[in-house]
Amino acid sequence: MLEVDDKVLADIRRGFSIPAQPSLLIKLQKIMAEAEPDLNALGDIISQDVAVASIILKTINSPLYGLSRSISDIHKSVRYIGLQGINSLVTNTLIKRSFDQQGCSIALEEFWDSATHIANTCVHIGKTLKVTTSKDKLFSLGLFHDCGIPIMAMKYSDYNDTYQLAYSTPDKTLPMTEDQAYGVNHATIGYYVASSWRLPKDICALILVHHDRDFLKMNNSCAQEVYYAILKLAENLVHNHKHNRDCADWFYIQEMIFTLLDIDEDNYQDYLEDSESFDVKAD
């Protein structure tokens, strides 16, 4: 697994507008760290943030949970979803609103719509596989994996040009092109953000290497390989929906992903059809 030099992280901290971990999340994680977390106190804290509370209620009443009757009480929702699920939902909601479109050289709404589409597709793929995965981790990985991109787009007015250049030169990964242009890349910045927001360490590590085309050749843990493969599969499915072509990485990793996940082209086409329904813009 790649490691990031402390000096690089210090340079990122000084040179970029990194969103601070919100106080709501700090309070939530403090409760979760207790020997016996107080779910009522957790519900009280969440109730103070109308936007976050509404997202949780929308989630608990979605087909994902398949309840026979709707729930309108945030405390009941917290008990039903559980600590890890609530932590994931709150974190994912807060990261989206930590960025301001003003001064950003990419369209943030489009960026987060795509990230959410990938996250939902990751969860769907995870449900279909024989191996055990965490839907909360899959969603967070899908949503956060490119979170370094808007941070770079806020600092560099020409970032979108660099991004497009990377996709016109598929022999190089996006981080390679970014490193050449700016001396830093979105995967490293994303790792810093995910770590400072206290995402699970294995998810942070995957964010750092998610463009590494040789990752599946490196004898990493089976679980890490599965999460990587699911992310890259979901990423390519969504990219096809939005751009009618494969991601630049896909040519180099497709065969390994099919083998690892025990899927074939027919399965891929099924996933492609399924993933269209997870596009938030389709609603």
Does residue 92 or residue 204 have the better pLDDT? Answer: 204
What is the total count of domains within the chain?
Answer: 2
Could you read off the pLDDT of 25-56 as tens digits, one per residue?
Answer: 999 989 988 999 999 999 999 999 999 999 99
**139 and 278 share a domain?**
yes
pLDDT of residue 59: 87
Reported pTM: 0.88
**In whole angstroms, what is the distance from residue 3 CA to residue 218 CA?**
14
Q: Do 220 and 87 share a domain, yes or no?
A: no
Burial (CB < 10 A; 0-12, 13-18, 19+), residue 258, is middle
Which domain does 24 fall in, by range?
A: 20-98
Q: Are residues 248 and 151 in the same domain?
A: yes
Residues in the chain, total? 283
pLDDT classification of 280: cutoffs 50, 70, 90: low
111 and 68 in a common domain: no
Quick one: average pLDDT of 116-139? 92
- Write out 87-141 in H/E/C secondary structure: HHHHHHHHHHCCCCCCCCCCCHHHHHHHHHHHHHHHHHHHHHCCCCCCHHHHHHH
- Tens of pLDDT, residues 146-166: 999 999 999 999 999 999 999
Cα–Cα distance for residue pair 91/68, rounded to 1 Å = 27
Last residue of a domain, one of 54, 74, 98: 98
Pair (179, 224) in one structural domain: yes
Residues 92 and 115 in one domain: no
Whether residue 203 sits in one domain with residue 189: yes
pLDDT tens digit sequence for 164-210: 999 889 899 999 999 999 999 999 999 999 999 989 999 999 999 99
Same-domain status, 1 and 77: no
CATH number for the domain spanning 145: value is 1.10.3210.10
> Average pLDDT in the 100-128 region?
93
12 vs 235, more confident: 235
Dist. CA 210–CA 249, nearest whole Å: 10
One domain for residues 161 and 131: yes
- Sorted by sequence, the CB contacts under 8 Å of residue 236 that are 6+ apart come out as 246, 247, 249, 250, 254
Q: Which of 98, 114, 134 is the last residue of a domain?
A: 98
Residues 12, 17, 23, 26: what is their CA dihedral angle, to the nearest 10 degrees? Answer: -20
- Measured between alpha carbons, how far is 143 from 193 in angstroms, rounded to an integer? 12
Q: Which of 49, 72, 98 is the last residue of a domain?
A: 98
Looking at the structure, tell me whether residues 161 and 29 fall in a common domain.
no
- The better pLDDT of the pair 1, 245 is held by 245
pLDDT number for residue 255:
97
Q: What is the pLDDT of residue 105?
A: 92
Same domain, 52 and 140: no
The reported pLDDT for the residue numbered 208 is 96
What's the pLDDT band for 223 if we cut at 50, 70, 90?
Answer: very high
Average pLDDT, the chain: 90
CB 208 within 8 A of CB 2: yes
Q: Are residues 84 and 199 in the same domain?
A: no
pLDDT of residue 282: 46
Q: Read off the pLDDT of residues 11-30 as tens digits, 9 standing for 90 and up.
A: 777 778 888 889 999 999 89
